[in-house]
């Protein structure tokens, strides 16, 4: 099927690509508040609405807290709902994030990952979404602009699946992807319609069948509702795969929860999120030319955490480096590191592992930084241990 | 893969011209990547932008530290280009916005095999459209030397990017710079 | 959608599987709660003084003042909790709180 399709190649920035996907998804309501580096997404969407290319209610709220609250109301009314934010904006949404997932509203949100204050910084890191990781949202990560477009379309399919009905975030690295022009292949409007037809939200507000929304639950029922959320999020991996299979049949591009690269025979495996994955792959290929076997694992789905799949790729690893673009201050390590540690322990896998905190506030992870990192890993493997558990990679030190 | 680093000042269209080059290269069937370096966004402050063009998909998502091409849009920065050629490859190219003053440039810090090209962007734009625009003339010179993307494709992208008489104006200065770029060796 | 048995939920017979998602329950469960048993005093309307102004109907926090076909009002004693707001706001002093 994909061979017969005419190629529709475009060059777009990550922000433009996500806005284009939301337009093709024919969203009914967009409620947002501008914040760099996400602003171009909603700017584009407001233009599509103003030019009559998209029939949607575009609502500029007075804050991100209100924007997401509006999205919840719209989603309950049965509207296909989209928003996007970053950094402080996501932080301001925080209490509403929990409400969106526990009220089972299939909202799609793009997050242009950006550092948190202070000091003020508008550049990329993952501190914003890591604060939101325990909110019951499905969190997806794009490695490039094509993936940002594809995952936005898939996010609607996943969020609106009647077995799931949960909000989904699509994360892309601020500036590195949001403001990068890259080539991508797009679907036709008709293909998108086929892929994500508007299906009625099963609990939509309906005067002929009134439901109770946002109920209060006392100690005798609250825990049962939370157990429901626990159970339903566990269905997300299979819903993701279903959404991916259909997407692959239409687009020819397929996605899995993880992107293992050269892991089968790797002596050292590096795990990360976002745009860094592709730079790591490029560097890993160069190391393989010198017979140094590095494997790279990216997580397309970060929440729920693809525990089983992680075990499958790490089972036989001899040395693991986790790259964290955020830190859990006062905690055991960076958020991804902590997740991997728990997964390994639960599955009785004892292997040398360390956390590498990098790229905070947009600090570029240069190829030379990666080469030094890889060299460090091989040296540590040789002596059989890391000399630290948490490295701050690329920080100026004396 | 060819890696290009653009230098100029805020307001001179540094980011725009890198963006236009990447979009043109993609339209020509190549893989390309453009990304700006966002410092303080003030008019007049030094600004960088980066373009990668390749026949293969581009995976690297970090900055360009060893460019094949350094292209300086600002005239003053072109006259004192030394700080901006940092990391230039040994056989790299430098594009400067200079006219007759190009003869006195100090080549001592350039790698010996590097080539210097000049475009008199000020003269071209003032003569053709009556006001100084530097970014599009520099692009005209660059695509002539790189032999891609074709002028037709760049013009198509310019037509989508600008509207009204700005399209014609930009195409005029693009073409003239394409014809007048000088190879100083 | 899950088939919900409201009576069982009210009776405390449920698990996380039988509760509606996020508590989005179809049948208004408040009908099952006969809050009229909570009263200590009940409002009694002197219909001869009532001007059908409906101020009590507006103020009642439990929708326990019923509008009748003649435009007047009656108290729904199945649900009235006896809070006394109706007696307080009645401009004609037509409602009195009487011990149960």
Res. B2: pLDDT tops 70: yes
Q: What is the structure's pLDDT at C8? A: 82
Looking only at Cα atoms, what is the longest distance across chain B?
45
Q: What is the pLDDT of residues B29-39, one digit of tens each?
A: 999 999 998 66
Residue A365: other Cβ atoms inside 10 A: 25
Res. A54: pLDDT tops 50: yes
Which 4-23 residues of chain B touch chain A by CB within 8 A?
19, 22-23
Looking only at Cα atoms, what is the longest distance across chain A?
71
pLDDT band at C28 (very low <50, low <70, confident <90, very high): low
- Rounded-to-integer distance, Cα A268 and Cα A318, Å: 6
Q: What is the structure's pLDDT at C41? A: 96
Q: Is A220 on the interface with C (CB under 8 A)?
A: yes
Q: What is the structure's pLDDT at B40? A: 61
Nearest to B61 among A10, A181, A278 (CB): A278
| Beta-bridge partners for C44 | C96
pLDDT band at A298 (very low <50, low <70, confident <90, very high): very high
Percent of chain A topping pLDDT 90: 95
Q: What is the structure's pLDDT at C29? A: 64
What is the average pLDDT score of chain B?
Answer: 95
The answer to whether A225 contacts C14, with C-beta atoms less than 8 Å apart, is no
Nearest to A103 among C1, C15, C22 (CB): C22
Taking the alpha carbons at both ends of chain A, their separation in whole angstroms is: 58
The closest of B134, B161, B69 to A11, measured between CA atoms, is B161
- Rounded-to-integer distance, Cα A16 and Cα A39, Å: 10
A210, closest residue in chain C (CA to CA): C26
Average pLDDT on B110-128 reads 96
User: What contacts A79, CB < 8 A, 6 or more positions away?
Assistant: A27, A28, A29, A57
User: Based on the number of CB atoms within 10 Å of its own CB, is B154 exposed (0-12), middle (13-18) or buried (19 or more)?
Assistant: buried
pLDDT band at C9 (very low <50, low <70, confident <90, very high): confident
**DSSP summary character for residue A250:** H
Q: Which helix (H) or strand (E) holds A342?
A: helix A335-346
Copy the structure tokens of residue A122.
């508008």
- Taking CB atoms within 8 Å and a gap of at least 24, the contacts of C62-67 are C62/C35
User: What contacts C75, CB < 8 A, 6 or more positions away?
Assistant: C42, C43, C44, C45, C64, C65, C66, C86
- Rounded-to-integer distance, Cα A133 and Cα A138, Å: 9
- Whether residue A393 has a cis bond before it, omega within 30° of 0: no
Residue B36: other Cβ atoms inside 10 A: 21
- Rounded-to-integer distance, Cα B145 and Cα B159, Å: 22
Q: What is the structure's pLDDT at A350? A: 95
Q: What is the structure's pLDDT at A3? A: 47
User: Based on the number of CB atoms within 10 Å of its own CB, is C54 exposed (0-12), middle (13-18) or buried (19 or more)?
Assistant: middle
- Whether residue A130 has a cis bond before it, omega within 30° of 0: no
Res. A282: pLDDT tops 90: yes
Res. A122: pLDDT tops 70: yes
- Rounded-to-integer distance, Cα A111 and Cα A85, Å: 5
- Rounded-to-integer distance, Cα A20 and Cα A47, Å: 11
The closest of A129, A42, A135 to A84, measured between CA atoms, is A42
Q: What is the structure's pLDDT at C3? A: 63
Q: What is the pLDDT of residues C32-78, one digit of tens each?
A: 788 999 999 999 999 999 999 999 999 999 999 999 999 999 999 99
A178, closest residue in chain B (CA to CA): B35
CB C28 within 8 A of CB A210: yes
User: Based on the number of CB atoms within 10 Å of its own CB, is A177 exposed (0-12), middle (13-18) or buried (19 or more)?
Assistant: buried
Nearest to C23 among A209, A215, A227 (CB): A215
Res. B179: pLDDT tops 80: yes
Instruction: For the sheet with A352-357, list strands across it.
Output: A258-261, A294-299, A268-272, A319-324, A352-357, A390-392
| Beta-bridge partners for A111 | A85, A171
CB A208 within 8 A of CB A306: no
Contacts of C28 in chain A (CB under 8 A): 210, 212
- Whether residue A304 has a cis bond before it, omega within 30° of 0: yes
CB A139 within 8 A of CB A262: no
Q: What is the structure's pLDDT at B37? A: 86
Taking the alpha carbons at both ends of chain B, their separation in whole angstroms is: 23
| Beta-bridge partners for B69 | B4, B93
- Whether residue A118 has a cis bond before it, omega within 30° of 0: yes
Q: Provide the H-helix boundaries in chain C.
A: 6-10, 55-59, 85-89
The closest of B90, B22, B72 to B52, measured between CA atoms, is B22
The closest of A219, A158, A11, A52 to B51, measured between CA atoms, is A11
Res. A337: pLDDT tops 60: yes
The closest of A101, A96, A90, A114 to A159, measured between CA atoms, is A101
Alpha-carbon dihedral A159, A114, A329, A299, rounded to 10 degrees: 50
ipTM (interface pTM): 0.92
CB C25 within 8 A of CB A212: yes
Scored b (16 or more CB within 10 A) or e, B133-145 reads bbbbbbbbbbbbe
Q: Is A11 on the interface with B (CB under 8 A)?
A: yes
A395 φψ region: left (φ > 0), alpha (ψ -120 to 50), beta (else)? beta
Average pLDDT on A200-229 reads 93
Q: What is the structure's pLDDT at C5? A: 74
Q: Minimal Cα–Cα distance from A266 to chain B, Å? A: 20
- Rounded-to-integer distance, Cα B154 and Cα B26, Å: 11
Angle between helices A145-159 and A14-24 (to 10 degrees): 30
Q: What is the pLDDT of residues A216-268, one digit of tens each?
A: 999 999 999 999 999 999 999 999 999 999 999 999 999 999 999 999 999 99
3-state secondary structure of A108: strand
- How many Å separate Cα A188 from the centre of its chain? 24
Q: Is B76 on the interface with A (CB under 8 A)?
A: no
* Chains C and A touch, using 3 or more CB pairs below 8 Å: yes
- Rounded-to-integer distance, Cα A279 and Cα B59, Å: 6
Place of tokens 């019923």: C66
- Rounded-to-integer distance, Cα A84 and Cα A86, Å: 7
Q: Give the torsion sign (CA, B36, B37, B39, B42).
A: negative
- Rounded-to-integer distance, Cα A197 and Cα A195, Å: 6
Nearest to C21 among A104, A209, A223 (CB): A104
Copy the structure tokens of residue A217.
């639950």
What is the average pLDDT score of chain A?
Answer: 96
- Whether residue B149 has a cis bond before it, omega within 30° of 0: yes
Q: Provide the H-helix boundaries in A132-188.
A: 145-159
Q: What is the structure's pLDDT at A2? A: 40
Q: What is the pLDDT of residues B126-165, one digit of tens each?
A: 999 999 999 999 999 999 999 999 999 999 999 999 999 9
Structural domains of chain B in order of their starting residue, each with its CATH number: 2-183 (3.40.920.10)
Neighbours of chain C (3+ CB pairs under 8 A): A
Q: What is the pLDDT of residues B37-61, one digit of tens each?
A: 866 667 778 899 999 999 999 999 9
């Amino acid at each position: 099927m994909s061979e017969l399709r005419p190629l529709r190649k475009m060059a777009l920035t990550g922000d433009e690509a996500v806005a284009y996907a939301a337009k093709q998804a024919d969203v009914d309501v967009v409620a947002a508040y501008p914040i760099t580096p996400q602003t171009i997404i909603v700017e584009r969407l407001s233009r599509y609405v103003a030019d009559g290319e998209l029939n949607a209610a575009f609502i500029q709220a007075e804050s991100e807290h209100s924007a997401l609250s509006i999205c919840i109301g719209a989603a309950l009314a049965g509207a296909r709902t989209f928003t996007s934010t970053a950094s402080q904006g996501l932080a301001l949404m925080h209490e509403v994030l929990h409400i969106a997932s526990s009220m089972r509203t299939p909202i799609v949100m793009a997050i242009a990952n950006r550092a948190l204050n202070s000091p003020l910084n508008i550049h990329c890191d993952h501190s914003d979404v890591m604060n939101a990781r325990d909110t019951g949202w499905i969190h997806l990560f794009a490695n490039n602009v094509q993936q940002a477009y594809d995952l936005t379309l898939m996010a609607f399919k996943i969020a609106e699946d009647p077995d799931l009905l949960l909000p989904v975030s699509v994360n892309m690295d601020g500036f590195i992807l949001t403001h990068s022009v890259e080539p991508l292949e797009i679907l036709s409007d008709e293909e998108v319609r086929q892929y994500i037809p508007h299906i009625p939200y099963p609990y939509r507000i309906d005067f002929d069948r009134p439901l109770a929304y946002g109920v209060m639950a006392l100690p005798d029922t609250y825990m049962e509702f939370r157990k429901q959320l626990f159970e339903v999020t566990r269905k997300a991996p299979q819903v993701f795969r279903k959404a991916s299979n259909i997407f692959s049949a239409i687009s020819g591009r397929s996605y899995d929860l993880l992107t293992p690269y050269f892991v089968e025979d790797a002596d050292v495996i590096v795990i990360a999120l976002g745009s860094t994955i592709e730079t790591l792959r490029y560097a890993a290929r160069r190391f393989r030319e010198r017979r140094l076997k590095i494997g790279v694992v990216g997580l397309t789905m970060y929440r729920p955490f693809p525990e089983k799949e992680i075990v499958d790729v790490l089972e036989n690893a001899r040395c693991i480096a986790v790259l964290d673009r955020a830190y859990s201050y006062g905690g055991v390590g960076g958020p991804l590191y902590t997740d991997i540690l728990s997964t390994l322990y639960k599955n009785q896998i004892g292997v040398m592992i360390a956390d590498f905190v990098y790229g905070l506030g947009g600090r570029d992870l240069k190829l030379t930084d990666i080469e030094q990192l890889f060299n460090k890993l091989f040296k540590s493997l040789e002596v059989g241990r890391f000399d630290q558990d948490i490295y701050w990679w690329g920080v100026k030190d004396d | 893969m060819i890696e290009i680093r653009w230098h100029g000042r805020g307001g001179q269209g540094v980011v725009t011209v890198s963006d236009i080059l990447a979009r043109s290269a993609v339209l020509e069937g190549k893989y390309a990547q453009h990304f700006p370096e966002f410092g303080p966004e003030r008019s007049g402050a030094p600004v960088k932008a980066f373009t990668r063009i390749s026949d293969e998909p581009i995976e690297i998502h970090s900055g360009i530290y060893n460019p094949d091409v350094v292209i300086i849009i600002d005239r003053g920065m072109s006259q004192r280009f030394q700080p901006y050629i940092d990391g230039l490859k040994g056989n790299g190219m430098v594009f400067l916005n200079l006219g007759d003053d190009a003869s006195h440039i100090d080549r001592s810090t350039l790698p010996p095999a590097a080539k210097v090209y000049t475009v008199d962007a000020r003269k071209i734009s003032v003569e053709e459209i009556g006001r100084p625009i530097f970014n599009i003339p520099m692009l005209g010179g660059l695509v002539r030397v790189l032999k891609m993307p074709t002028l037709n494709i760049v013009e198509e992208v310019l037509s989508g990017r600008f509207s009204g008489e700005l399209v014609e104006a930009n195409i005029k200065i693009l073409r003239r710079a394409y014809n007048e770029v000088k190879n100083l060796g | 959608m899950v088939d919900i048995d409201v009576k069982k939920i009210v009776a405390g017979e449920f698990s996380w599987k039988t509760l509606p998602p996020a508590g989005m329950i179809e049948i208004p469960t408040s009908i099952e709660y006969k809050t009229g048993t909570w009263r200590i005093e009940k409002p009694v309307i002197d219909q001869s003084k009532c001007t059908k102004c409906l101020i009590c109907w507006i103020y009642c926090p439990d929708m326990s003042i019923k509008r009748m076909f003649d435009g007047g009002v009656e108290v729904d004693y199945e649900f009235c909790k006896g809070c006394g707001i109706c007696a307080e706001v009645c401009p004609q002093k037509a409602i009195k709180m009487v011990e149960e």
